[in-house]
Structure 1
Amino acid sequence: MTAQEGRASTGLLRRGIWGFLAWFCGLFFFLPFAWMVLTSFHGEADAATNPPSIGAALTLQGYREFFGASTGVSPWPPLINSLTASVTSTLLVLVLAIPAAYALSIKPVRKWTDVLFFFLSTKMLPAVAGLLPVYLIAKNAGMLDNVWLLVILYTSMNLPIAVWMMRSFLAEVPVEILEAASIDGAGLPTVLVRIVAPVAAPGIAATALISFIFSWNELLFARVLTGVVAGTAPVFLTGFVTSQGLFLAKVCAAAVCVSLPVLVAGFAAQDKLVQGLSLGAVK
């Protein structure tokens, strides 16, 4: 065997090992979700066995319970509240983050590093530390149990992260294109909509997806600031843990249904997400 063949064989072996490790890690992180899906199709008696029964009979009773077969409580209002708060806040985050990132990257403002540090410093305060002031402000403003209060909170919570992400994405936009657009007389709105947005589409998709996931999964503020009217899907999910005990099959069915919007959004935007998260990684 020649030296070149030896190097090729070693490289092939190395790629095989890394490929095996990647598959192992992927299956390791996917296993809990797969187990949750399988448990959601089991009866409560089979789901509570230790060790759990893999080959138990399958049933849709857990999903019937989630949709209120025995209690008559519909999950649709909380799901709609979560969808409204998540989608609306994500759109507002993009509308505010893209111009801010444009000013911090392509047309840098004075002391832009101080501005970025200020955005980052807003995430240093633990969320629970601001819970009481937010509750008192919402109570005095008469906005408790209001989905639009969640929209405002989710927008303010996700905006710093979105600005940081969008700045790194917009920094990769070729300056020559923007200069050519300026010479042609394009204004700022035209530049943002027709030039910056198409070029940075993967980054925008990644930022939007992460903001949507953070908003959809938020529980602390939604649990304290909402009640019957504006309760979200995670708050509704906590209602399945009762004083009677933890019914695993029903909880797993509810968790699968609540997770579906995030999974669908991630699957639909997976190509843009990968492009966006890897944008600028290779020069």
Structure 2
Amino acid sequence: MARNVTPQRKAINTVIAWAAGLLIFFPILWTILTSFKTEAQAISSPPVFLFFDWTLENYAVVQERSNYMRFLWNSVIIAGGSTVLGVLIAIPAAWSMAFVPSRRTKDILMWMLSTKMLPAVGVLYPIYLICIELGILDSRAALVVVLMLINLPIIVWMLYTYFKEIPGEILEAARMDGASLKAEILYVLTPMAVPGIASTMLLNFILAWNEAFWTLNLTAAKAAPLTAFIASYSSPEGLFYAKLSAASTMAIAPILILGWFSQKQLVRGLTFGAVK
């Protein structure tokens, strides 16, 4: 039986939710506002919030100094490629864990997830040498594979959770009708788990888009994504906060827009199977 929630309780929960959301969003808002300030206003004390001379000079300088579209295209290919490749590998793996009984399934999942606890710098040197040996250092292919492997445990874990909510009897019925393993996964399982798959892809895309450690260490110029684009505005002479904020805003704008338009799908997928 559902609990009755009083209007006062709803109002309190709404205020708390908005306060938490604004607190989390404030650093992003401050970065966006700083990108429209002059360098003097960006470091002024006390800080200037809204009442300043708005200017687009920083964006013009960033656009003139850097090839923004090349960095953006690299980010799209790297994040999108690692996401698609990871899902293609994770769907069969999650299917086998969800529908092929094994006492070791939970142990395997925990082991996979525990690999995320390994400090990235601990495996940087061997991966760096492998990329040199294969001749793929500073290439988008290397970053696609590395980021896919880094996020693969999360993809498998999330898809396993979604697949477990699908009744196994439906897949058994498909087998009795003569469906092959490929047809079972492609035409029966995958369509039923579209919300979960979509939210998993969105989350993995965001994680790959924001990855900085590997993109800064495995690229130099050709395959550098937007994280390297932002880092290029840190110079030995000091930080140019207004221009750095403009570069950061240009880097996060695509993912903010994507998140805004896909938020319903993301919430739906993340809550998939939570209510029975």
Q: Distance in 1 between matches of 2:31 and 2:210?
A: 17
Q: Structure 1 residue runs of 4+, over 6 Å off?
A: none
Deviations 1:150-186 (A, max 9, x none): 0110111111110001000111112232222222222
1:192 is displaced (CA, Å) by 1.9
Task: Identify the residue that residue 16 of structure 1 maps to in structure 2.
Answer: 11
- 2:123 is paired with a residue whose SS is helix
5+ long unaligned stretches in structure 1: 1-6
5+ long unaligned stretches in structure 2: none
* 8 A contact 1:205–1:269 mirrored in 2: no
**Of 124, 135, 147, which aligns to 1:142?**
135
Task: Identify the residue that residue 65 of structure 1 maps to in structure 2.
Answer: 61
Using a 3 Å threshold, how does the CA distance of structure 1 residues 205 and 21 change in structure 2: closer, same or farther?
Answer: same
* 8 A contact 1:103–1:109 mirrored in 2: no
1:206 is displaced (CA, Å) by 1.3
Q: Distance in 1 between matches of 2:225 and 2:272?
A: 33
Task: Identify the residue that residue 275 of structure 2 maps to in structure 1.
Answer: 282
Farther off after superposition, 102-111 or 225-234:
102-111
Task: Identify the residue that residue 3 of structure 1 maps to in structure 2.
Answer: none
Q: Distance in 1 between matches of 2:263 and 2:102?
A: 33
Q: Distance in 1 between matches of 2:253 and 2:101?
A: 40
Question: Does 2:124 align with 1:124?
Answer: no
Q: Distance in 1 between matches of 2:41 and 2:166?
A: 55
Task: Identify the residue that residue 180 of structure 1 maps to in structure 2.
Answer: 173
Farther off after superposition, 235-244 or 181-190:
181-190
Letter in 1 for 2:22: L
Task: Identify the residue that residue 55 of structure 1 maps to in structure 2.
Answer: 51
Farther off after superposition, 158-167 or 31-40:
31-40
Deviations 1:51-110 (A, max 9, x none): 222211211111112212xx3x31222221111111011000110111110110123356
Letter in 2 for 1:39: T
Task: Identify the residue that residue 220 of structure 2 maps to in structure 1.
Answer: 227
Q: Distance in 2 between matches of 1:250 and 1:94?
A: 37
Give me the CA root mean square deviation.
Answer: 1.8
Deviations 1:93-138 (A, max 9, x none): 1101111101101233562223213312322311111111111121
Aligned length: 273
Task: Identify the residue that residue 34 of structure 2 maps to in structure 1.
Answer: 39
* 8 A contact 2:229–2:247 mirrored in 1: no
**Of 235, 242, 250, which aligns to 2:235?**
242
1:202 is displaced (CA, Å) by 1.4
Q: TM-score, normalised by structure 2?
A: 0.93
Q: Distance in 2 between matches of 1:26 and 1:52?
A: 22
* 8 A contact 1:41–1:59 mirrored in 2: yes
Using a 3 Å threshold, how does the CA distance of structure 1 residues 134 and 48 change in structure 2: closer, same or farther?
Answer: same
Q: Distance in 2 between matches of 1:176 and 1:193?
A: 17
Q: TM-score, normalised by structure 1?
A: 0.90
